[in-house]
């Protein structure tokens, strides 16, 4: 096995969610079927939520048999579901090779958001995060990423339509670039989940080359940079991968992204008690924010068992927010959700492992 092979999805029947409309039409041609059959199948899968080919009653039994031999609709098994009092529902999925990932459904009024993973484990290794404990096992395929969105959309008690998608689960999306972009196109496509690109967010620790590449994809998605520290020294302590990239490089990449897409970048900043929540950090963060078109999303740390970092006191967090705004930062404090269901990325998977 080569080093690249360890990140490939195991072989087996092709996942239907991996197929674009054009690829599925080509597959129909190979089976001697008219192209419109592809549209029927996509209608069943994305809009009627069919879980198997047997449910597709306007297809012949012979075609359904042929499709079942070549494709699977759902590859994963939902092995654990956690539901919080605030409506947040977290799913632990087991894939055919036995690996597990998480996805989350987050309701908020008339809006519902799916939070998706892009890798099994995470290579970044943020010291306060459960996702990277144990490193990265492999990438998810585009179809496996889309499948999580379908699980989050249709396996909840809430019948509100899925309106937003965030790539903020386990893994670094831009380290699995091709699969992430293909999944976005499927989630965005009219023949797919039909969710507007401006309602899709990619969260990244900051890979400048991939950010520049994403800016040229002609996608109107929101880019969120997981900053978590306002200076390079502290950021390198919190995020091992940050030793490769300076904040100055991230600022340049974010400026380029805004220039090409017109989309403001979001700076994600997890507040850690007595570590990055002091007034001097707010001043430094305001300076970073002034150097690009962005808004700052402050997040209260979600404690992880076995990790020594703590959630800041509420008055400290609000003082940080107030100072940041006084200094001209467009900042918000994100409401904490799903605390009683191991809401932070990777916690449920780690607990089950």
- Residues 201-247 have pLDDT tens digits of 999 999 999 999 999 999 999 999 999 999 999 999 999 999 999 99
Of 74, 215, 250, the residue nearest 155 (C-alpha): 74
Average pLDDT over residues 76-91: 92
Fold classified for 77-352? TIM Barrel (3.20.20)
**Which of 34, 76, 78 lies closest to 59 in space, CA to CA?**
34
First to last CA, the chain: 25
136-139 and 100-108 beta bridge pairing: unpaired
- Determine the pLDDT at residue 304: 78
Catalytic residues: 102, 345
Which of left, alpha, beta for 277 (phi over 0: left; psi -120 to 50: alpha)?
alpha
Instruction: Say if residue 306's pLDDT is above 90.
Output: no
Q: Is-contact 317 333, C-beta < 8 A?
A: yes
The per-residue pLDDT for 1 is 33
Alpha-carbon span 272 to 294, nearest angstrom: 22
Nearest to 102 by CA among 169, 168, 153, 166: 169
Cα 136 to chain centroid distance, Å, stands at: 15
| CA-based R_g, the chain, Å | 21
Would you place residue 198 in the very low, low, confident or very high pLDDT band (cuts 50, 70, 90)? very high
Assess whether pLDDT exceeds 90 at residue 91: yes
Class at the top of the CATH hierarchy for domain 13-72: mainly alpha
pLDDT score of 99:
95
Asked which of 107-111, 186-190, 314-318 is least confident by mean pLDDT, the reply is: 107-111
Phi, psi (deg, nearest 5) at residue 172: -105, 105
For residues 290-307, give the mean pLDDT.
89
Please give the Cα distance from 177 to 165 (Å, whole number): 17
Q: Where along the chain do its domains lie?
A: 13-72, 77-352
Regarding pTM above 0.95, the answer is no
Instruction: Reply yes or no on whether the pLDDT at 332 is more than 60.
Output: yes
User: Residue 336 pLDDT > 90, yes or no?
Assistant: no
Quote the strand ranges of the chain, DSSP E. Answer: 14-15, 71-72, 77-83, 89-94, 100-108, 111-115, 119-121, 136-139, 164-167, 200-204, 222-226, 265-271, 294-300, 331-334
């Amino acid at each position: 096995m080569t080093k690249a092979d360890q990140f490939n999805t195991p072989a087996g029947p092709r996942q239907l969610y991996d197929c674009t409309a054009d690829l599925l039409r080509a597959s129909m041609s190979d089976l001697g079927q008219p192209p419109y059959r592809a549209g029927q199948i996509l209608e069943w899968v994305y809009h009627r939520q069919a879980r198997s080919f047997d449910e597709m009653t306007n297809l012949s039994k012979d075609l359904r048999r042929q499709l079942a031999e070549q494709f699977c609709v759902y590859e994963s098994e939902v092995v654990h579901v956690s539901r919080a009092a605030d409506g947040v529902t977290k799913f632990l999925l087991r894939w055919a090779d036995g690996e597990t990932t998480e996805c989350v459904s987050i309701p908020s009024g008339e809006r519902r958001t799916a939070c998706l993973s892009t890798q099994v484990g995470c290579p970044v290794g943020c010291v306060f995060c459960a996702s990277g404990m144990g490193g990265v096992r492999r990438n998810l395929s585009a179809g496996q990423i889309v499948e999580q969105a379908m699980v989050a959309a249709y396996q909840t008690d809430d019948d509100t339509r899925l309106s937003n998608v965030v790539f903020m689960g386990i893994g670094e999306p831009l380290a699995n670039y091709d699969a992430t972009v293909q999944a976005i196109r499927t989630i965005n496509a009219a023949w797919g989940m039909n969710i507007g690109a401006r309602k899709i967010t990619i969260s990244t620790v900051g890979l400048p080359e991939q950010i520049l590449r994403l800016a040229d994809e002609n996608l109107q998605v929101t880019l969120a940079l997981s900053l978590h520290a306002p200076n390079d020294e502290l950021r390198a302590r919190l995020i091992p991968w940050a030793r490769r990239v300076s904040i100055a490089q991230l600022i340049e990449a974010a400026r380029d992204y805004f220039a090409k897409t017109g989309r403001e970048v979001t700076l994600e900043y997890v507040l850690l008690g007595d570590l990055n929540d002091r007034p001097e950090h707010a001043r430094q963060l305001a300076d970073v924010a002034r150097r690009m078109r962005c808004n700052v999303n402050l997040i209260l740390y979600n404690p992880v068992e076995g990790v020594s970092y703590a959630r800041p006191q509420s008055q400290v967090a609000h003082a940080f927010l107030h100072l940041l705004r006084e200094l001209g930062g467009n900042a918000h404090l994100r409401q904490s959700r799903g605390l009683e269901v191991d809401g932070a990325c990777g916690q449920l998977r780690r607990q089950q492992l």
